[in-house]
Amino acid sequence: MRDPGSLRSHQWYGTDGLRSFSHRARTRQLGYLPEEHLGKPVIAVLNTWSDINPCHVHLRERAQAVKRGVWQAGGFPLEFPVSTLSETFQKPTPMLYRNMLAMETEELLRSYPVDGAVLLGGCDKSTPALLMGAASVDLPAVFVPAGPMLPGHWRDQVLGSGTDMWKYWDDRRAGLIGDAELAELENGLARSPGTCMTMGTASTLTAAAEALGVTMPGASSIPAVDSGHDRMAAASGRRIVGLVHRDLRLSRILTRPAYEDAVATVLALGGSTNAVIHLIAMAGRSGVPLALDDFDRIARTVPVLADLRPGGQYLMEDFHFAGGLPAFLSRLTDVLHLDRPTVAHDSLREQLAGARVHNTEVIRPRSRPLADEGGVAVLRGNLCPDGAVIKHIAAEPHLLRHTGPAVVFDDYRTMQRTINDPGLGITADTVLVLRNAGPKGGPGMPEYGMLPIPDHLLKEGVRDMVRISDARMSGTSYGTCVLHVAPESYVGGPLALVRTGDTISLDVPARSLRLDVPDDELERRRAAWSPPPAKYERGYGALYGEQITQADTGCDFAFLSRPGAVPDPYAG
Ligand code: FES
Chain segment 348-397, per-residue pLDDT in tens:
999 999 999 999 999 999 999 999 999 899 999 999 999 999 999 889 99
Strands (E), 238-395: 377-379, 388-390
CA atoms of 149 and 2, how far apart (whole Å): 39
* Ligand 1 atom with the shortest distance to the CA of 53: 1
Mean pLDDT of the chain: 96
8 A C-beta contact, residue 221 and residue 316: yes
8 A C-beta contact, residue 508 and residue 400: yes
CA atoms of 131 and 153, how far apart (whole Å): 33
The DSSP code for 157 is E
Q: Is omega for the bond preceding 487 within 30 degrees of 0, making it cis?
A: yes
Q: Which residues contact 316 (CB under 8 A, 6 or more apart)?
A: 148, 197, 198, 199, 203, 221, 223, 308
- With CA atoms as reference, report the closest residue to 377 among 473, 508, 235, 272: 508
Chain segment 490-546, per-residue pLDDT in tens:
999 999 999 999 999 999 999 999 999 999 999 999 999 998 988 899 999 999 999
Whose CA is closest to atom 1 on ligand 1?
Answer: 123
Q: What is the structure's pLDDT at 477?
A: 79
Chain segment 160-178, per-residue pLDDT in tens:
988 788 889 888 988 899 9
Backbone angles phi, psi at 385, to 5 degrees: -60, -30
Domains of the chain: 1-39 (no CATH), 40-150+192-352 (3.40.50.2300), 153-188 (no CATH), 377-528 (3.50.30.80)
Q: Which residues contact 506 (CB under 8 A, 6 or more apart)?
A: 379, 399, 400, 401, 402, 403, 431, 466, 468, 480, 482, 512, 513
pLDDT at 572 exceeding the cut of 60: no
Chain segment 317-331, per-residue pLDDT in tens:
999 999 999 999 999
CA atoms of 407 and 432, how far apart (whole Å): 5
- Inter-axis angle of helices 256-269 and 274-285, to 10 degrees? 170
458 alpha carbon – ligand 1 mean position (Å): 27
Banded pLDDT at 256 (limits 50, 70, 90):
very high
Q: What is the dihedral of CA 58, 478, 473, 299, to 10 degrees?
A: 100
11 alpha carbon – ligand 1 mean position (Å): 39
Q: What is the structure's pLDDT at 568?
A: 85
Enumerate residues lining ligand 1, CB below 6 A: 55, 87-88, 123-124, 195-196, 200, 202
* Ligand 1 atom with the shortest distance to the CA of 55: 1
Q: What is the structure's pLDDT at 571?
A: 64
Whose CA is closest to atom 2 on ligand 1?
Answer: 196
